[in-house]
Amino acid sequence: MSEVVALENLVVRLGNRTILDRLNGSLTGLCIGLLGPNGSGKSTLLNTLLGFYPPFGGTARIFGNDIRADIGRLRSMIGYMPESDAFIAEMTGIKFVRYMAEISGLPAREAMERAHEAFFYVGLGEVRYRKVGTYSLGMKQMVKLAQALVHGPRLLLLDEPTNGLDPEARQRMLQLIREIHDTGKVHIVISTHLLRDIEDCCDQVLILKNGRVAALRDLKEERKANRKFLELEVNQQNGFVDAISRLGCECASFPGGRLKIVLPEGIEVRQLYQLAAEHTVQIRRMNYRCDSLEDIFLKAMEEKPEARGSTSGRL
Amino acid sequence: MAVYKRIYKVYDGPLTPARSRFLVLSRYSWSALFESRLFTSFTLLCFSPLLIGGIFIYVVHSPTVMALVGAHINNGDLITNIWFWGFLQTEIFLAFILGVWAVPGMMIRDFANQALQLYLSRPLSRAEYLLGKISAAVALLSAITWIPGWLLFGLQAQLEGHGWGGEHLWLMGSIFLGCMLWITVIVLLAMALSVWIKWRIVVSILMLATFMVLAAIGEMASIILDTQWGRLLNLNYVLTLIETRLFRIPRHYIHAWRYESVPVWAAWASFLAVCLICLWVLNQRLRAREVERG
């Protein structure tokens, strides 16, 4: 898969504080999630990719272009939806989006056409002649998305796109992001602290903690790899674990009679029941379980980011 | 994307030249300004000195009209460099009001709801953003200052004949430069205060205060310290001093208005210092993201 964003020892300092500390990683997904607690450096990373903050050390590449050298060209390929309010309150929605399209280089006629299309695309067609200042919070979020899409970028940077939205509006926003994702024509980077948003839309996640890479995971692969992951609760173990291991399964036991088993190809659940019967073990609970994003995130938050100087994109 | 299809489509059509893209900002700034009827009416009012000046020049060159009113005036004594200077003082006063009205609004609407980050996330640099806004403001103020000045100069040269235009060609440079000095100060000051304060009414008040309060402080400093250098804080004084030299105003006028107390080079230095301070403020504050030091 082609590389969308490559982080090469990226360091960003604001004032005397180091906000991003030697980030490394290769982001290749069609929809990439930036996850981390508040203050972990997600928005700073987006702002650095846009050239708003200069890297103190290292660099980043977007589609192979260095952000230090080619930021002008890169910006024409990027659509940015900021986290905070960003609009011109006195302008009508359609004029505002058209204006943004023209600044991106679209001729006036095409800009007008695309602005109308973008408005209908985000579902605000009916209110496009109202002043942006009169829009509700949800509408303002959608206008921000419309202005980010209007010039047809190759990369969309969405900073907390579902911030402040009610459940219905949030679903609509995520649905739109999924639709854009499904076209396969545009790469999306979503920064959020909401695990569900990432889980719903992304196929790769970069987890940041205190300005450092805590994990970089391919969610598609994780989902595939965890297809036969079983969680069992038994009354006693009585050599049951050894028997399972002899069967060719990876097995880990936990206090309280909990077992985690990865079933290889060809092994059926029925065989586990047989083994349990042979060892007079009662299986009290059994369920298929994926290593959820929450697990990945919590694991990443518990573990220390790798030692200074060797921070890599994978744990 | 299509209105009826609701499908996302990448744009692969033609693009406008990057060099002239800053003009989009100028165009939209103008369009926003003239959405206000009050502003449009005032702008039209600013052309009234041009109309009055044009009529005056015509009248003094018209023997029929002069005969009708029974006046015997040598028009060569009337329409001089002093007349043009006086005319431009009126135009500059109106330009100041127009600048205080238009420029802060032009800037602050981008700052009020943090829209600046949307401009700068596109292929538009900070310099181009500034260029777009400055060109809109300069074009607006030029339209009511040196351009009418040149039109009246052309009318006078045409009606006077006898090589008057050629002899007074330097006056065109004086009109242009004199007005541009004022326009530069008004525009840069209004922009710097706008990006710094981000509150339109306060910016307008501060603009007036910069001219009035600084002048008062300068005069007080001059009196208390028994020096003339305090006057360099008085922007009105500084710019008028430069203008008097540009328009070759005779010494007796200068003496009458006590414009000889500081050297002209000091006035130029004061003008440049104001411009540099404004540019420094713009450079510091005109950013997509503000960084809190700590």
A86-138 pLDDT, tens digit per residue, is: 999 999 999 999 999 999 999 999 999 999 999 999 988 889 999 999 999 99
Segment 246-265 of chain A within 8 Å of chain B by CB: none
Q: Compute the mean pLDDT over every residue in chain B, rounded to the nearest whole number.
A: 88
Mean pLDDT of B129-152: 96
Residue of A nearest to B112 (CA): A88
Segment 74-103 of chain A within 8 Å of chain B by CB: 75-76, 78, 80, 82, 84-91, 99-100, 102-103
Chain B nearest-CA distance from A195, in A, is 26
Distance of CA B201 to the CA centre of its chain: 19
Q: Which of B121, B133, B290 to mutate to test the interface with A (most CBs of A within 10 A)?
A: B121
Coil/strand/helix, residue A22: strand
Mean pLDDT of B101-108: 92
Residue B230, pLDDT above cutoff 90: no
**Of A65-79, A255-269, A301-315, B211-225, where does the model show the most confidence?**
A65-79
| CB neighbour list of residue A304: distance below 8 Å, 6 or more residues apart | none
User: Tell me, what's the pLDDT at B177?
Assistant: 96
Q: How confident is the model at residue A289 (pLDDT cuts 50, 70, 90)?
A: low
Chain A nearest-CA distance from B43, in A, is 21
**Is the CB of A30 inside 8 Å of chain B's CB atoms?**
no
Contacts of A183 in chain B (CB under 8 A): 7-8
Cβ atoms B9, B1 nearer than 8 A = yes
> What's the CATH number of domain A228-288, 3.50.50.60, 3.40.50.11540, 3.30.70.270, 3.40.50.150?
3.30.70.270
Q: Across the interface, do B114 and A152 touch by the CB < 8 Å criterion?
A: no
* Phi/psi at A227 (5° precision): -60, -40
Residue A82, pLDDT above cutoff 90: yes
Contacts of B18 in chain A (CB under 8 A): 72, 105
User: Tell me, what's the pLDDT at A195?
Assistant: 86
Q: Which of A52, A90, A116 sits opposite B3 (nearest CB)?
A: A116
Say how many CB pairs under 8 Å bridge A and B: 133
Q: How confident is the model at residue B66 (pLDDT cuts 50, 70, 90)?
A: confident
Interface of chain B against chain A, CB under 8 Å? 1-4, 6-16, 18, 21, 24-25, 28, 32, 109-110, 112-115, 117-125, 287-289, 291-294
Contacts of B112 in chain A (CB under 8 A): 89
Q: H or E element: which one contains A168?
A: helix A167-183
Residue B153, pLDDT above cutoff 90: yes
Residue A312, pLDDT above cutoff 50: no
| CB neighbour list of residue A177: distance below 8 Å, 6 or more residues apart | A31, A158, A161, A188, A190, A201
Looking at chain A, which residues constitute the CATH 3.30.70.270 domain(s)? 228-288
Four-CA torsion B32, B33, B36, B40, nearest 10 degrees: -140
User: Tell me, what's the pLDDT at A59?
Assistant: 93
| CB neighbour list of residue A272: distance below 8 Å, 6 or more residues apart | A230, A232, A244, A261, A283, A286
Cα-trace Rg, chain A:
24
* Phi/psi at B36 (5° precision): -85, 125
DSSP-assigned beta bridge partners for residue A26? A6
CA dist A201 and B160 (Å) reads 78
User: Tell me, what's the pLDDT at A311?
Assistant: 40
User: Tell me, what's the pLDDT at B262?
Assistant: 82
User: Tell me, what's the pLDDT at B136?
Assistant: 96
Chain A nearest-CA distance from B133, in A, is 13
Q: How confident is the model at residue B275 (pLDDT cuts 50, 70, 90)?
A: very high
More confident residue, B44 or A218: B44
Other residues' Cβ atoms within 10 Å of the Cβ of residue A184: 8
Distance of CA A141 to the CA centre of its chain: 18
User: Tell me, what's the pLDDT at B233?
Assistant: 87
Mean pLDDT of B283-288: 89
Q: According to DSSP H, which parts of B144-227 are helical?
A: 146-160, 164-167, 170-197, 200-224
Of A21-25, A97-101, A270-274, B72-76, the range with the lowest mean pLDDT is: B72-76
Q: Which of A70, A103, A106 to mutate to test the interface with B (most CBs of B within 10 A)?
A: A103
Q: How confident is the model at residue B67 (pLDDT cuts 50, 70, 90)?
A: confident
Residue of B nearest to A154 (CA): B10
Q: Which of A14, A104, A183 sits opposite B8 (nearest CB)?
A: A183
Q: Which of B32, B113, B291 sits opposite A87 (nearest CB)?
A: B113
Residue B181, pLDDT above cutoff 50: yes
User: Tell me, what's the pLDDT at A313?
Assistant: 41
Give the tens place of pLDDT for each residue, A152-209: 999 999 999 998 888 888 998 999 999 898 888 899 999 998 888 888 888 899 999 9
CA dist A256 and A123 (Å) reads 51
CATH class of the domain defined by A5-218+296-302: alpha beta
Q: Is the whole-model pTM more than 0.90?
A: no
Mean pLDDT of B133-145: 96
Q: How confident is the model at residue B84 (pLDDT cuts 50, 70, 90)?
A: very high
Looking at chain A, which residues constitute the CATH 3.40.50.300 domain(s)? 5-218+296-302
